[in-house]
Structure 1
Amino acid sequence: MKFVQIIDYKTERSDDMNQLMDKWVEQTKGKRTATHNIIGKDRSQANHYVEIVEFPSHEEAMKNSHLPETDRIFQEMVALCDGMPSFTDLDVVREEQLNAATARRFFHEVAVGGNLDTVDELFASDYRDHDTFKEEESTVGADVIRSDVTSWRDAFDFRFDLDRQVSEGDDVVTLWTWTGTHKGEFMGIAPTGQQCTMTGTTIFRFQDGKIQEGWWHMDAMGLMRQLGAIG
């Protein structure tokens, strides 16, 4: 179970505190067990800060706290604070990456499920698409998704296995495996009945909760080879 520690403190020496955090990162390289660190500044109280540190588990957090470097940095941190920092220890009981969930909805509901009515809910009206399978460098508009999904569904019965997703900032990266049976004309190739597989990666950039831009990278040559279009 993931574990999160929240450190609440006040300081007038934020620059010194940042330098101290950089020092801790450098000194604990290869030894620390913390996986994610966020520091937020209170908009209504300029000297008030909240730090959130994520660990794979409470046990890993304890290993981190027992590092001699962590203890030394903590003492220096206290010296920079206005009073003693407070600590809150939390076991993570629910975690949801909302943008990642939206990306999964595209693959499951739109691409495989064929629910084109969902496109306007998931994609911005001025969505920009970049696809290595196409000659155009990019195309604009949510209708490109409707057109692409329709074309692929007309040509194949297929599914997506989402092998891995990584979310950072406004971007969601999905590594997928596509498996389809060739049932209709595809890029001038008559139906072959061939079952094909293809791996690829999709990067979606989100803005205001919707997919604003997408990049598609896939093994197009491998697919065409399986369809007998190239040797």
Structure 2
Amino acid sequence: MRTDQNKDVVRRLIEDCVNTHRSELLERFVTEDVRVHPGTPGTAPDTAGLDALRKAFAGFRTTFPDLRITPDQFVAEGDLVSLRWTASGTHSGPLAGIEPSGRHVTWAGTDTYRLADGRVAEWWRNDDVVWLLHQLGRDLVRPGG
């Protein structure tokens, strides 16, 4: 596939699945054996397979039911697409041991996708977890400390 077609697959994955919370459409955009690699060490193991990705989507929807990803920039080369994005949502469910705060938060990140036969086969996630946790009242580094 051409790089512009690969970018369109990722764009549609975000718009048609993530932003509408329609995990039943994932199979249109990801392979059955898709592998998602978390970008923050120690946060979660790799997610392997379409069913596991659906479960992860459901969990994230519980945490941020109004989650919205805004694509800021796409870069593509060969079978790889990178996306710089901004996310926002209301913290309405548990997140990494943090009880729901009701706070509306915004954070950014970059994801890289490897496509095979027109669908995402691998997905590397990199969220600005430090900023997200700061907004939820969980600073990892305290000033002067």
TM-score category of the 2 structures, normalised to the smaller one: 0.7 to 0.9
| Aligned equivalent of 1:221, options 130, 136, 141 | 130
Contact 1:110 1:149 in 2 (8 A): no
The equivalent of 1:159 in structure 2 is 68
Where does structure 2 lack aligned partners over 5 or more consecutive residues? none
In the aligned structure 2, how far is the partner of 1:96 from the partner of 1:186? 35
- Asked whether the equivalents of residues 200 and 217 of structure 1 are also in contact (C-alpha less than 8 Å), the reply is yes
Offset of 1:96 from its aligned partner?
A: 8.2
Report how far residue 128 of structure 1 moved: 1.3
1:182 aligns with: 91
From 37, 41, 44, the counterpart of 1:130: 37
**Displacement, 1:132?**
2.0
Correspondence for 1:118 among 25, 28, 49:
25
Structure 2 CA distance for aligned equivalents of residues 206 and 135 of structure 1: 23
Work out which structure has the larger RCO, using CA pairs closer than 8 Å and 6 or more positions apart in sequence. 2
Matched AA of 2:63 = A
**Structure 1, residues 8-35: CA drift from partner, whole Å, max 9, x if none?**
xxxxxxxxxxxxxxxxxxxxxxxxxxxx
AA of the residue aligned to 1:200: G
State the distance in 2 between where 1:208 and 1:103 align. Answer: 13
Amino acid corresponding to residue 143 of structure 1 in structure 2: D
Supply the distance in 1 between the matched residues of 2:31 and 2:85 (Cα, whole angstroms): 23
- Kindly report which structure 2 residues correspond to 1:37-186, keeping only aligned pairs within 5 A, or say none: 97-133=4-40, 134-136=43-45, 138-156=46-64, 157-186=66-95
Measure the CA separation in 2 of the matches of 1:226 and 1:161.
19
1:143 deviates by 2.0
Which has the greater radius of gyration? 1
1:31-42 equivalence runs, <5 A: none
What TM-score do the two structures reach when normalised by structure 1? 0.55
CA distance in 2, matches of 1:97, 1:126: 24
- Divergent runs of 4+, >3 A: none
For 1:168-193, what per-residue CA distance to the aligned partner results, in whole angstroms no more than 9, with x for missing partners?
10011110000111112222222211
Number of residue pairs matched by the alignment: 136
Task: Determine what percentage of the aligned residue pairs are the same residue.
Answer: 32
Q: How big is the shift at 1:155?
A: 0.9
Partner AA of 2:121 in structure 1: Q
Q: What is the alpha-carbon distance in structure 2 between the residues aligned to residue 144 and residue 221 of structure 1?
A: 25
Q: Is the 8 A contact 1:165 1:172 kept in 2?
A: yes
Compute the RMSD of aligned alpha carbons.
1.8
2:33, 2:50 within 8 Å by CA — same for their partners in 1?
yes
